[in-house]
Structure 1
Amino acid sequence: MSQTTSGRRVTAADIARSLGLSRATVGFVLNDTPGQTISEATRTRVLDEAKRLGYRPHIAARALASGRTRIVLLVLPDWPLDFNLRRNIEEASLALDEAGYALITYTPHPTGHARPLWETLQPDVVLAMAPWAPGQVESIRAAGVTCIIPDPEAPPQAEWHEEGPALQVDHLAALGHRRIAFAGSADPRIADLVALRRHLALEAAATLELPAVPTADIDLTDASAESVLAEWRAAGVTAVVAYNDDVAAAFVGAAQREGIAVPGELSVVGHDDTPLASMLEPRLTTVRVDTVGLGRFLAQLALAAVEDRPEPTVGPDLRVAIVERASTAAASLGA
């Protein structure tokens, strides 16, 4: 008899009956109950028979008995699912899987017609990658979830990538560029992230006493980079700090179509060090973010909330760094 052929879920009672053991003994083995004096031979017999019969644990019953579902729900903002975000999720999922937890992602939408997954799944932890929207924390708590990250009662934490824009500006200034512009994305879904990096780039330029930094947000689907670049070149701009590698690539392409040499006449620095940065010609100078480390950091935050583990810290290994390639060079004399 098997779960597949019989059409009925195989239970611990089926295993006990097949082996002539008590239901309690089989339950202790299947649940790995501590403090029991069950021989290794009996334990092996139970596990082998469970496998032969096609036994699968009843998740709801196990959760009820243990008080855990071993599910971590990651609430995503309505951002484009770009390379770095995918790597964050993949690494967090792998790290949680290694600890016996499943990671499920969920993107709430403004319409709010669907029932929130924290009500349906009853996860052990609800983890967010952006500040909580109004009403979300109350809804999560009403569903019985007590582990919420970030803690809505705690002071907000600094962004992990907050040093990136300063590194971009510092790199260009060290090459002698004085007229630097900031290029963002016009995608409304990431307006807050663009605004943050723009603010930090302007702040870094002011610290270095550079001239006022012109800024513009471009749409990657049209020719807006060409018109913005023409205005900036007329104003004497010799270098562009880009919100990310996609925006940087748009300006490199616009410059090449207009016959502007990169980096001879225009230096461009991206952010995120995506595969595009090393495939583009010239290869992009950019800011590297440890997506693997950040994904595992997220997983460690979740595990620390539900298990007896110390909270992780953001160490030097998670800090961003400039990766110098061929899209930036020393400013021309007189620039």
Structure 2
Amino acid sequence: MDSEPSLKADEATNVLSRSLHDRGLTCLFSKTAGSTTPLKQLLEEITPSVVVPFFQLSNEDKDLLKRLHIPLVEFFRPSRKKYNGLPPVELFGDFQESVGAQQAGYLMGKGCERIAYVGTTTSSNSSICGSRLAGVRRGLAAGGRNLVLNANISLHDHGQSADALVNCLVENKCDGVCVYNDQLAALLISRVKDKGIEIPRGLRIIGVDNDPIAAYLQPSLTSIDYDNVVFAYIDAIVEASECGDNLGKTLNHTPRIWVVERQSA
């Protein structure tokens, strides 16, 4: 299965694993269960004390967990609506929207008028990508603009999707691009330069994750950095495993998000 390399994602899973281990729980990570393979298949092999999906779980899988009395802590539960009578809370999907909105706001602040979003073709990252895209749209709308172009590219097709995207960016006269993460932004910078487009004069590019590679690209990549979001969910996961019930509890921790400004934007 394809996967986008991300030090932030690795850090999040490591923090989650260590923190829960310290609370007496053992983490088992699956990149496919509930997304590209049936959750039922995994549950035939193990019986977890709590399930924590990093994507929007289907209603069918939620019903399955309920029948099996396995508690669920949802990162992607919509938070601007009340849930079980509780007030709105800041959750993972909203956090990712905020990341996208910050990208859009930064590019508009630099004078960009025609902004595109570049996402990933990797299915396991589709929920996060969708939330960031929604945030970019929200940020643009707040500035009185609409998204000009939305397309996905891959690190695994020898640059073909990136080359096609660059042609679309030129055709649509885009002057700014919000990219799903720094790995894809690095690929885009390479292909844009191959087309003779000057960065940032001809096109401004901003990524996400503040990957160490960002500082060494030519030009260096402007990126979004953020606090590790996993810390907001440790207590909820532990409590759900101990109580054996879905909590829907309010989470008070809101991670910081900031721009690391470099040459590309």
State the TM-score, normalized to the length of structure 2.
Answer: 0.77
Alpha-carbon offset, residue 259 of structure 1 = 2.2
Structure 1 residue aligned with 2:179:
242
The 8 Å contact of residues 185 and 207 in structure 2, kept in 1 or not, is answered as: yes
Alpha-carbon offset, residue 167 of structure 1 = 1.0
Specify which of 88, 99, 117 is matched with residue 164 of structure 1. 99
| Amino acid of the structure 1 residue aligned with 2:217 | L
Distance across 2 between alignment mates of 1:212 and 1:94: 40
Structure 1 residue aligned with 2:251:
313
Distance across 2 between alignment mates of 1:263 and 1:272: 20
The 8 Å contact of residues 90 and 295 in structure 1, kept in 2 or not, is answered as: no
Query: Matched residue pairs, number?
Result: 244
Could you give the per-residue CA deviations for residues 236-294 of structure 1, whole angstroms, max 9, x where no partner exists? Answer: 32221112212211221112212222223221000122233233232211111323xx2
Residues 149 and 245 of structure 1: CA distance in aligned 2, closer, same or farther (over 3 Å): same
Is 2:42 the counterpart of 1:116?
A: yes
Residue range with higher mean Cα deviation, 96-105 or 130-139: 130-139
Alpha-carbon offset, residue 232 of structure 1 = 2.1
Structure 1 residue aligned with 2:190:
253
Distance across 2 between alignment mates of 1:79 and 1:256: 25
Is 2:206 the counterpart of 1:269?
A: yes
Distance across 1 between alignment mates of 2:55 and 2:12: 14
| Amino acid of the structure 1 residue aligned with 2:42 | P
Distance across 2 between alignment mates of 1:305 and 1:321: 31
Structure 1 residue aligned with 2:129:
194
Distance across 2 between alignment mates of 1:245 and 1:87: 15
Larger RCO, structures 1/2 (Cα 8 Å, 6+ apart): 2
Q: Please, which runs of 5 or more residues in structure 1 have no aligned partner?
A: 1-77, 329-335
After TM superposition, the runs of 4+ consecutive aligned structure 1 residues lying more than 6 A away are none
| Amino acid of the structure 1 residue aligned with 2:253 | G
Is 2:58 the counterpart of 1:133?
A: yes
Residues 191 and 313 of structure 1: CA distance in aligned 2, closer, same or farther (over 3 Å): closer
Structure 2 residue aligned with 1:149:
73
Distance across 2 between alignment mates of 1:211 and 1:130: 26
Is 2:138 the counterpart of 1:203?
A: yes
The 8 Å contact of residues 117 and 151 in structure 2, kept in 1 or not, is answered as: yes
The 8 Å contact of residues 96 and 135 in structure 2, kept in 1 or not, is answered as: no
Q: Please, which runs of 5 or more residues in structure 2 have no aligned partner?
A: 78-82, 244-248
Structure 2 residue aligned with 1:4:
none
Structure 2 residue aligned with 1:59:
none
| Amino acid of the structure 1 residue aligned with 2:222 | T
The 8 Å contact of residues 6 and 211 in structure 2, kept in 1 or not, is answered as: no
| Amino acid of the structure 2 residue aligned with 1:178 | E
Residues 139 and 214 of structure 1: CA distance in aligned 2, closer, same or farther (over 3 Å): closer
Structure 2 residue aligned with 1:18:
none
Structure 2 residue aligned with 1:91:
15
The 8 Å contact of residues 93 and 299 in structure 1, kept in 2 or not, is answered as: no
Residues 164 and 300 of structure 1: CA distance in aligned 2, closer, same or farther (over 3 Å): same
| Amino acid of the structure 2 residue aligned with 1:176 | G
Root-mean-square deviation (CA), in Å?
3.1
Distance across 2 between alignment mates of 1:209 and 1:298: 35
Structure 2 residue aligned with 1:232:
169
Q: Which has the larger radius of gyration?
A: 1
| Percent identical residues | 23
Distance across 1 between alignment mates of 2:216 and 2:237: 35
Name the SS for the 1:260 alignment partner. coil
Residues 216 and 120 of structure 1: CA distance in aligned 2, closer, same or farther (over 3 Å): closer
Residues 260 and 83 of structure 1: CA distance in aligned 2, closer, same or farther (over 3 Å): same
